[in-house]
Amino acid sequence: MRAQLSYQPQDERQASSLAAALSRAGADVVPSADAGTEAAGTDAVVLLWSYAAQAAGVAARAEGGRVVPVRLDDCPLPPLLDRLPQVRLAVGVTDAAAAAIARLALTATLAGDQGTEPELPVVISDFGPLGQYETCPRCGVGSDRLRPYVTVDHHDDRALRLVICGSCGWQDHGDL
């Protein structure tokens, strides 16, 4: 798979990490610091979405190709992109997240395509060592309601990484 990695200059550090991870996942990555440039000769555009991309008005230029939005922060996606399958990097770039992005890039629908799409888009949230979630295992809400936390268990004197559901309170944890 050949993918254009589209990002804003402010997101270059995360883009560089993601490009390396996508390469390890078998993708041929064409980086582009101007998120509005054309993706000629690529199978898909991996669009890093952040407050910087929103401020640059990137969404208006993301029509017509296979686009996989990758959310770097909690900036909401515009309606055109929000209904596409997407990945949310809750704890940064991981190889598992890159593999999920590569899979979505191969199967992504065309941006602006009004074909048969699921009512709710697939949102894969990557929580590093705690795994990837599409929904809360307890209540089934989308993974955009799951949040990462770091805390200290003073009783056992250890640092913990947690994933907590904002709807039902479900949580998973692991040592930091």
One digit per residue, pLDDT tens: the chain, 176 residues?
Answer: 888 999 999 999 999 999 999 999 999 998 886 545 555 678 889 999 999 999 888 765 555 578 899 999 888 998 888 888 889 988 888 888 898 898 888 886 555 555 544 455 678 898 988 999 989 999 989 888 999 999 999 999 999 999 999 999 999 998 88
Yes or no: say if 57 and 105 are a contact pair by the CB < 8 Å rule.
no
pLDDT at 40: 67
Q: What is the 3-state secondary structure (H, E, C) of 91-131?
A: CCCCHHHHHHHHHHHHHCCECCCCCCCCCCCCEEEECHHHC
Cβ within 8 Å of residue 138, ≥6 positions away: 165, 168, 170
- CATH code of 2-125, in short, is 3.40.50
User: In the chain, what are the domain boundaries?
Assistant: 2-125, 135-175
pLDDT at 138: 93
pLDDT at 59: 64
Residue type, 170: W
pLDDT at 121: 67
Can you say how many angstroms the Cα of residue 24 is from the centroid of all Cα atoms in its chain?
Answer: 17
Q: What is the 3-state secondary structure (H, E, C) of 136-153?
A: CCCCCCEHHHEEEEEEEE
